[in-house]
């Protein structure tokens, strides 16, 4: 068992009534994660995606969460404004059943990193309607030891192959 440490955990609160579907959040997220940083703007590289139904004035921002290794078995339905949506539409996971939240070049899963290194998540900063707000709370977490990092890296290499992982690490090290 590792040692417990205090850590600030950030979360993004989404108010769908305030979202106007402008997609500024997708634009800044994809530009921030381009390599080199801000060199391109491709929403497919964004960790936040907009579910849009302009005719019904429905806009739901969904940001990328954990990667799911397999498709889930049971799927719920959501009814919004009399239209039925499959649960997959609002799911935050990158998973084998769809292309959402996958790096377009390597196919590796994308996950929101809260714009690591930035004071405030950029999608929150760029959202002029305040549909996105950042909240912080303190949590006790277990400290990760280097051995755990090695095990995590090994399972990624087993799943995606050494070349893809090495390519992604090299792209990440060129950022900034
Ligand atoms: S920037 Fe804000 S208002 Fe615009 S699409 Fe994103 S969440 Fe909605
Ligand atoms: S917090 Fe940063 S990484 Fe996460 S969705 Fe917003 S812009 Fe993208």
Closest Cα to atom 1 of ligand 1:
127
Rounded to whole angstroms, the Cα distance separating 17 from 128 reads 13
Rounded to whole angstroms, the Cα distance separating 102 from 111 reads 9
**The whole model's pTM is what?**
0.76
Which residue has tokens 């084998």? 96
State which of 54-68, 107-121, 130-144 shows the largest mean pLDDT. Answer: 107-121
- Same domain for 104 and 168, yes or no, is no
| Tokens coding 137 | 């709370």
Angle 44-157-93 from CA coordinates, rounded to 5°:
40
Which residues form the pocket of ligand 2, taking CB atoms under 6 Å from any ligand atom?
28-29, 32, 47-48, 63, 112-115, 121-123
Which residue has tokens 């590289």? 45
Task: Provide the sign of the torsion angle of the four alpha carbons 16, 93, 34, 32, taken in this order.
Answer: positive
Which residues form the pocket of ligand 1, taking CB atoms under 6 Å from any ligand atom?
19-25, 50, 59, 61, 126-127, 129, 131-132
- The pLDDT > 90 percentage for the chain reads 49
- Same domain for 135 and 148, yes or no, is no
Q: How confident is the model at residue 176 (pLDDT cuts 50, 70, 90)?
A: very low
- Same domain for 70 and 155, yes or no, is no
- Same domain for 134 and 152, yes or no, is no
87-97 as b/e: b if 16+ CB within 10 A: eeeebbbbbee
What is the domain extent for residue 173?
144-176
Write the pLDDT tens digit of every residue in 47-82: 999 988 888 888 999 999 999 988 887 677 888 777
Query: How far, in Å, from the CA of 154 to the mean position of ligand 1?
Result: 37
* pLDDT on residue 90: 86
Q: Which ligand is nearest to the CA of 58?
A: 1
Considering the chain, what is the average pLDDT of its residues? 85
Angle 140-141-142 from CA coordinates, rounded to 5°:
135
pLDDT over 50 at 173, yes or no: yes
Number of folded domains that form the chain = 2
- Same domain for 124 and 40, yes or no, is yes
Query: How far, in Å, from the CA of 63 to the mean position of ligand 1?
Result: 12
**DSSP assignments along 61-98, one per residue:** EEE---B-SS--S---EEEETTEEEEHHHH---B-TT-
- Same domain for 82 and 58, yes or no, is yes
Q: What residues contact 28, with CB distance under 8 A and at least 6 apart? A: 122, 123, 125, 126
């Amino acid at each position: 068992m590792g040692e417990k440490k205090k850590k600030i955990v950030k979360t993004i609160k989404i108010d769908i009534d305030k979202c106007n579907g402008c997609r500024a959040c997708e634009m800044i997220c994809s530009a921030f994660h381009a390599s080199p940083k801000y060199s391109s703007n491709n929403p497919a590289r964004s960790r936040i995606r907009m579910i849009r139904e302009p005719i019904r004035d429905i806009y739901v921002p969904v940001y990328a969460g954990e990667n799911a290794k397999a498709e889930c078995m049971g799927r719920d339905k959501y009814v919004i404004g009399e239209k039925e949506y499959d649960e997959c539409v609002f799911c935050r996971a990158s998973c084998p059943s769809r292309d959402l939240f996958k790096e377009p070049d390597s196919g590796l899963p994308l996950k929101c990193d809260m714009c690591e290194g930035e004071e405030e998540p950029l999608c929150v900063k760029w959202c002029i309607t305040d549909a996105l707000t950042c909240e912080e709370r303190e949590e006790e977490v277990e400290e990760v030891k280097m051995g755990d990092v090695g095990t995590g890296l090994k399972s990624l290499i087993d799943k995606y192959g050494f070349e893809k992982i090495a390519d992604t690490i090299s792209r990440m090290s060129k950022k900034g």
